[in-house]
Amino acid sequence: MSINHSLSFPILEYETATSYVSRLTRYCGLNSPNDFCLDHGFRWQDFVRGDDVLFDKVAAIGGANADDMKRWAVRTIDKNRFEISGQQATKMSLVRTRLRVGATDSRI
């Protein structure tokens, strides 16, 4: 008999799905979201494009609410066009309000 225990790593209010995977990646001790996704049998690029099946899978792995993850996910709808919570945007209209620095390799 096998028992499957998911993590308890909640998604933050208004957090995008990609941001959640980035935090979950570091929580699991991995170096990149690409590594996390490959370890779980899918490609980071497919997750970034907005695949609902992958949102469900990551939510189950991390113990997050899948509906919250889907609500704030950035979904690719066309080249340089995205949808966030039902609102469409172009790549040029998505501006970060602050500089964000990703986690670095702790061995450096």
Helices (H), the chain: 17-27, 33-39, 44-49, 52-62, 66-71
pLDDT tens for the 108 residues of the chain, in order = 555 556 789 999 989 999 999 999 999 999 999 999 999 999 999 998 889 999 999 999 999 999 999 998 988 888 888 888 888 888 777 666 655 555 554 444
Ranges of each domain in the chain: 17-93
DSSP 8-state code for residue 42: S
pLDDT at 58: 95
Say how far apart CA 108 and CA 104 lie, in whole Å: 8
pLDDT of residue 101: 55
What is the pairing mode between strands 74-78 and 81-84?
antiparallel
pLDDT at 108: 40
Q: Return the pLDDT at 86.
A: 86
First to last CA, the chain: 42
